[in-house]
């Protein structure tokens, strides 16, 4: 509870709904997403393809398509990102929020040297002098654990291994001295041992600089092992938000539980229990809970019950939020589920 009641969060996404008018989209990409990242906190965002986790990251940098219909707010350090003018937005992307993508190579221009990649941005966007930029770039490369940085500065991306290119990208992400780091599947394309190295580097800098980090991944085990707090997304909604440890030990949303039961875990030879069906695409529209068709404990009412975040209750581990009709919740904060159904029916009719 402390996490949600203290000072203003670094990143605060409130009731964010994003619709893409593109072909075939019949539900919002994001539907009422609430998410907070505090300074010094590593927050996991877990979901399968189509869950909207990457769109959430894009919204933080206001990089959604022009024709997207957006409702809700995204605030970084109290400033509303979605309403920013071009200049403030540039400043935000250059100095306050950095993003590390899944495929590091596609972030780099293959015909430019590593040194140019690092210094260009410092010189042009941040207005540093070339000599200072170079010195800073060398510092950054050393800081992300790259040996012989002078030599690396002269090399091209194809001369470096995947893990090393990801370090360079992280160095560039740290160049603007950001407050918030968005890691979108930043280690998914890497080997397991390299992944651990990159994670260690990210953690080291995050802790040393007190950064907030939004760590987006499809790997629930990784999120549970690496993050302080985890949001689980499904079909554009946050279905559960918990501290990592509790989420892992005692998942409350049937989707989270299903995800844990079907994710292979080293040393646990119990047969995997697959979730039937497939993750919903943008073409699938839902009147009620989007998980209902795959849910083992679904009831008829779930088909019309529009999920909303409810504070978890009924146990010792009663932190966090779950968007399930059947979960044990506190009575007061959320609207009564029965009322909710009635209200939705009225709206729908």
Partner 1 sequence: MTLLQDSQPGRPSSDPRSPGRASGPRTAAEPAATRRRRSARRRKWPLSLWIASGFLALTALAALLASVISPYAPDAIDLGASLADPDANHLLGTDQSGRDLLSRVLHGAGPSLVAPLALLALASVVGIALGTVAAWHGGWVDALLSRVTDVMFAFPGLLFVILVVSVFGDGLTTAVVALALAYSPVVAKYTRSIALAERSKPYIDAYRVQGMSGTAICALRLVPNLAPQLLGYLVLMFGQVLMGMATLSYLGFGAQPPSSEWGLMVKEGQAALVQGALWPVIVPGTAIALVVVAFNIVGVRISDRLGARER
Partner 2 sequence: MSPVDPKAGKARQKWSPRDPETPGADTDAVPALRVHGLCKEFRARGERPGDGTVAASDVSFAVPAGGALGIVGESGSGKSTIARMLVGLLAPDRGTVEVDGRERSFRSHVGRAQRLARAREVQMVFQDPYVSLDPRLSAEQCVGSVLRLHGLGDRAARARRTAELLDQVGLGSREAAARPHALSGGQRQRLSIARALAAGPRVLVLDEAVSALDVSIQAQIVRLLADLRRDSDVALVFVTHDLAVVQHVTDDLLVLYRGVAVEQGRTAEVLAAPRHAYTQLLVGSVPRPGWDPAEVVRLRAAVLGATV
Chain residues that interact with partner 2, rule: CB under 8 A:
48-49, 145-147, 162-164, 167, 191-197, 199-200, 203-204, 218-222, 224-226, 244-245, 248, 258-259, 262-267, 269, 271-276, 278-279, 281, 294
- Angle of helix 162-175 versus helix 192-209 axis, rounded to 10: 10
| Binds 20: which of partner 2, partner 1, none (CB < 5-8 Å by kind) | partner 1
Residue 336 contact partner, candidates partner 2, partner 1, none, CB within 5 to 8 A by sort of partner: none
Comparison of 82 and 143: residue with beta carbon closer to partner 1: 82
Distance CA(84)–CA(64), nearest Å, equals 13
The one of partner 1, partner 2, none whose footprint includes residue 211, by CB under 5 to 8 A per kind, is none
Footprint of partner 1 (CB under 8 A)? 20, 22-24, 26, 29, 49-50, 52, 54-55, 58, 64-65, 278-287
Selection from partner 2, partner 1, none that 285 binds (CB < 5 to 8 A by kind) is partner 1
Q: Which residues pair with 216 in a beta bridge?
A: 45, 184
Nearer to partner 1, 20 or 143 (CB): 20
Beta partners for residue 11, in sequence order: 37, 76
Separation CA 229–CA 251 (nearest Å)? 13
Query: Binding partner of residue 258 among partner 1, partner 2, none, CB under 5 to 8 Å per kind?
Result: partner 2
Contact between residue 241 and residue 230 where contact means Cβ atoms under 8 Å apart: yes
Query: C-beta of 285: minimal distance to partner 1 in Å?
Result: 6
Chosen from partner 1, partner 2, none, partner binding at 231 (C-beta under 5 to 8 Å by type): none
Least distance in angstroms from the C-beta of 184 to partner 1: 9
Contact (Cβ atoms closer than 8 angstroms) between residue 237 and residue 48: no
Measured distance CA(52)–CA(45) in Å, rounded = 10
Kindly tell me which of 121 and 221 has the beta carbon lying closer to partner 2.
221
What's the rounded Cα separation, in Å, for the pair 277 and 215?
Answer: 27
**Count of CB atoms within 10 A of residue 105's CB?**
15
Sequence-distant (6+) residues with CB within 8 A of 139 are none
CA-to-CA distance for 231 and 4, rounded, in angstroms? 14
Query: Shortest gap between Cβ of 161 and partner 2 (angstroms)?
Result: 8
Closest to partner 1 by CB, 161 vs 281, is 281
Residue (122 or 199) nearer to partner 2, CB: 199
| DSSP H or E stretch at residue 278 | none
Among partner 1, partner 2, none, what binds residue 203 when CB lies within 5 to 8 Å by partner kind?
Answer: partner 2
Measure Cα distances from 161 to 157, 189, 191, 195, 245 in Å. Answer: 8, 12, 11, 13, 33
> In the complex, what is the shortest distance from the CB of residue 88 to partner 2, in angstroms, rounded to a whole number?
35
312: nearest Cα among 335, 334, 290:
334
Minimum distance of partner 1 from residue 265's CB (angstroms): 25
Please say which residue, 230 or 302, places its beta carbon nearer to partner 2.
Answer: 230
């Amino acid at each position: 509870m402390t996490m949600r009641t203290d000072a203003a969060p670094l990143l605060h996404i409130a009731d964010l709904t994003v619709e893409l008018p593109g072909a075939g989209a019949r539900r919002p990409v994001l539907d009422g997403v609430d998410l907070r990242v505090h300074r010094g906190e590593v927050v996991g965002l877990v979901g399968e393809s189509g869950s909207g986790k990457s769109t959430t990251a894009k919204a933080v940098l206001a990089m959604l398509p022009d024709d997207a219909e957006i409702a809700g707010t995204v605030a970084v350090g109290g400033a509303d990102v979605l309403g920013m003018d071009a200049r403030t937005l540039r400043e935000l992307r250059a100095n306050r929020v950095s993003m590390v993508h899944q495929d590091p190579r596609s972030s780099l221009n293959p015909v430019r040297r590593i040194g140019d990649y690092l210094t260009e941005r410092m010189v042009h966007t941040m207005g540093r002098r070339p000599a200072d930029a170079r010195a800073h770039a060398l510092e950054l490369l050393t800081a992300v654990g790259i040996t012989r940085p002078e030599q690396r500065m002269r090399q091209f991306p194809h001369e470096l291994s995947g893990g090393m290119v990801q370090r360079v990208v992280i160095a560039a992400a740290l160049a603007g001295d950001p407050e918030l780091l968005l890691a979108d599947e930043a280690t998914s394309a890497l080997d397991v041992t390299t992944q651990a190295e990159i994670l260690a580097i990210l953690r080291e800098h995050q802790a040393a600089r007190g950064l907030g980090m939004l760590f987006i991944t499809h790997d629930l085990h990784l999120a549970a092992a690496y993050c302080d707090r985890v949001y689980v997304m499904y079909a554009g909604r946050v279905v559960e938000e918990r501290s990592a440890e509790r989420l892992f030990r005692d998942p409350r949303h049937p989707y989270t539980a299903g995800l844990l039961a079907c994710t292979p875990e080293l040393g646990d030879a119990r047969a995997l229990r697959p979730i039937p069906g497939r993750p919903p695409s943008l073409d699938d529209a839902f009147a009620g809970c989007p998980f209902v068709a795959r849910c083992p404990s679904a009831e008829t009412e779930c088909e019309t019950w529009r999920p909303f975040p409810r504070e978890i209750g009924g146990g010792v581990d009663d932190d966090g939020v779950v968007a399930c009709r059947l979960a044990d919740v506190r009575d007061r904060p959320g609207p009564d589920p029965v009322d909710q159904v009635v209200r939705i029916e009225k709206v729908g009719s």
